[in-house]
Chains A and B, each alone.
Chain A
Amino acid sequence: MAEYLILINEDESAYASASPDVLQEVMEAHNRFAKQVEETGGSIVSGRALQPTSTATSIRGDVVTDGPFAETKEALGGYYLVEARDLDQALEIAKLCPARFGGVEVRPIMVFDGM
């Protein structure tokens, strides 16, 4: 098995203006996702949602600035760290991952020798 990070990139403004019903649906979709992952044979190691990029602080060298690293329409809003047999299984899991206002990116976790 190997670990993959599923990065959820979505349009933050869509969440800011979403109705309570929509937000409820999103929550339920994430709860369902956790069950669906088990059915694929993979597993979720961890997963978190992030506060919006308006709360981000960036540091380059020792210069501290307000805001995210790059201003983009779709920003990283949360992640899942999952365990999967291979990329095909990781992609199968990622396709199930809710991201109604954007999409997800799958990145293999790097493994270092001797670890």
Chain B
Amino acid sequence: MTGSTAGGLPAEPGSGTGSGAGNDRPTAADAVADAHRREWAFVLAATARVAGDLDLAEECVQDAYVSALQAWSDQGVPRNPGAWLTTAARRRAIDLLRRDTTLRRKLPLLVEPGGPETTGPGPEDPGGAEEGSGVIPDDRLRLIFTCCHPALAREAQVALTLRLVCGLSTAEIAQAFLVSEPTMAARVTRAKKKISAARIAYRVPESAELPDRLDAVLTVVHLLYTTGHTAPDGARLVRDDLVDRALGLARMLSLLMPDEAEVRGLLALLLLTDARRATRCAPDGRLLLLEEQDRSQWDRPAIGEGTALVREALRGGRPGRFALQAAIAAEHARAPAYRDTDWRQILLLYDLLGRAWTSPVVALNRAVALAMADGPEAGLAAIGDLERDGRLAGYQYLPAAKADLLRRLGRADEAAQAYRCALGLAANQPERDFLTRRLAEVTGG
């Protein structure tokens, strides 16, 4: 990765957020905002290696963005904003380390692999980022693997990824997950402290551990997406900011790890699911089911890209859980109308998915596909098994799916009971409205 291409990597989350970057002469403020969205992970990852500490790296990167605002106003926006920011942030880190011996004595808190000489980042390390000459290493994978290390709790992994890889503020992350800012700040601080105190290495895992470690990273990105896709609470169904961040991360990973089938699978899954975003709600905010959605409004380019990725992801044999979920989403996307859906094929894919990933949620989705292929009774029997299993107790989509099958069988009283149960668990308003309408239907209200 050379310095000149680093800045141009299309790792921006989502699109259409419309800064002035498309204009002939972007203002410095626009360019800084744009670089924040596109380059944050690259700049921070490269700076962390020099700083040897995540907090110090963050501080230096923030300083670099502040100084960019002034410098770019005076001298114009540089050709490669990412390289400019990285060089500035790394110089600042080297400066601070030179000046502050106490800081240096405590370092390195971030463990660098590869022998003792690299464990001493400091003045002797020029950073290798001098403009025009050097190559800035792309350390974004190191950064995201460190954020998603299994020794950190899942919620800490998510918070750190948003903070360090996406550059979100603690306040923004707190808002996204509906916790108070002090709570989120404490969560981030605790996680960073563990990284340094327990010496979680700043590196990409070796091939033996890669599958598990990659799965943790993909799970975090997927969790971000699903949290945005059906917001856990609140008035809106979708939280666009989180969805866009997740898509951006999936794209970044697929650029950086082009040979990993599951990375493609995840990107495909997100693209194919997100292609329906605009049609999931009626203009009045009412939830629209798959069968009610206007398929002509689905995002065809996203479906095309997602479908091609699914094919590639399935090619290498033994497909993983993300590739298989994407294949199911592709089946839905392929059907011209709901009644044309190939439920047999979907059922087959769910069987494969159940083998790759034993999860009661997969079993529930399979039960719904089974009901479509073989009739509601078959689906109900499978849901009955899941109820006895007990692992989905408290999962709103279990009684909701059961209610729908009972409704289709004309068993109104039992359906009403199941709808009430689902309503007791649902917190998202459009989903609550939908369940309330269905409950009124079956009770004749």
Contacts and interface: CB of A to CB of B under 8 A. Distances in A.
Contacts of A88: 200-201, 205, 209
Contacts of B151: 87, 91
Interface string B157-177: 000000000000000000000
B197 interface: yes
Interface in A74-93: 85-88, 90-91
Interface residues of A, number: 11
Nearest to B209: A88
Contacts, number: 29
A113 B201 contact: no
A23 B105 CA distance: 47
A87 B201 contact: yes
B86 to A, nearest CB: 25
A86 B199 contact: yes
Given A87-B151, A91-B151, A113-B106, A108 B111 contact: no
Nearest to A107: B198
A16 interface: no
Interface in A101-115: 106, 108, 110, 113
A2 interface: yes
A86 B106 contact: no
Given A85-B111, A91-B151, A108 B105 contact: no
Interface of B: 105-106, 111, 113, 149, 151, 197-201, 205, 209
16 contacts: A2-B199, A85-B111, A85-B201, A86-B199, A86-B200, A86-B201, A87-B149, A87-B151, A87-B199, A87-B201, A88-B201, A91-B151, A106-B198, A108-B197, A110-B197, A113-B105
Interface of A: 2, 85-88, 90-91, 106, 108, 110, 113
